[in-house]
Amino acid sequence: MRSLAIASIIVLATFAAKAQNAATPAATASAAPSVVFVNSDSLLNNYAYFKAVKVKLQTLTQKAQDEITVKGQAFQKKVANYQKTANALTPAQKAATEKKLAAEQQNLQELQQNTGKQLQEIELAENTTLYEKIAIYLKGFTKEKGYKIVLTYSKSSPSMLYGDDSLDVTKDVVAGLNEEYTKSGGK
């Protein structure tokens, strides 16, 4: 989850940099500031889509951990059973059982690795979608409001040391993102 939050901070910073590079020198006649900021901590804590993704990832992670735990416990029971009965087995039976247990242990380790990799891929895909949703929204938001640059602020990773509260558009951005999320049926 921390990596998802860090990724969203990077997303906002990247968007700000792109907006700065794409800014045109044409002056606007409005009194709107050209540079504003979004508090990424507040954005993530209040963006319904992010909350849903966070719950989804936690659920998938817990389900995977539960599955691995159940299979690990079943494997441990087989090992314990083998250890209890090993003295009664012939050398050929011992070798066959040990080979079978080693293969099961290898399969369990591969399951753990594959599950971890799948969860990382899902998280990466969700981070990409989060970035796209925020970037698309901010592109329209900045155009509508006449802003040229949207910076990001986070207490956990401050890339901006200070911003006057009048330049903080976090509430407007969160409200707009949540409205779009609701309109899309939670997708």
- Which tens digits make up the pLDDT trace of 160-169? 878 888 898 9
Best CA proximity match to 40, nearest among 177, 180, 140: 177
Q: pLDDT-based confidence at 11, cuts 50/70/90?
A: very low
Indicate the residue type of 107. Answer: N
Residue 38 has pLDDT above 60, yes or no: yes
Residue 17 has pLDDT above 80, yes or no: no
Residues in the chain: 187
Best CA proximity match to 137, nearest among 164, 172, 163: 172
Best CA proximity match to 137, nearest among 169, 173, 171: 173
Give the model's pLDDT for residue 160. Answer: 81
Whole-angstrom CA distances from 64 to 29, 55, 98, 119 are 56, 14, 27, 9
pTM greater than the 0.85 cutoff: no
CA distance 104 to 76: 10
Give the model's pLDDT for residue 142. Answer: 94
Q: In 10 A of CB 76, how many CB atoms?
A: 10
Residue that wins the pLDDT comparison between 164 and 22: 164
For the chain, give the mean pLDDT: 86
Q: pLDDT-based confidence at 3, cuts 50/70/90?
A: low
Q: pLDDT-based confidence at 172, cuts 50/70/90?
A: very high
Best CA proximity match to 52, nearest among 126, 120, 142, 2: 126
Q: Which residue has the tokens 């970037």?
A: 135
pLDDT digits (tens, 9 = 90+) for 51-98: 999 999 999 999 999 999 999 999 999 999 999 999 999 999 999 999
Residue ranges of the alpha helices (H) in 86-169? 91-145
pLDDT-wise least confident of 8-22, 64-78, 99-113, 146-160: 8-22
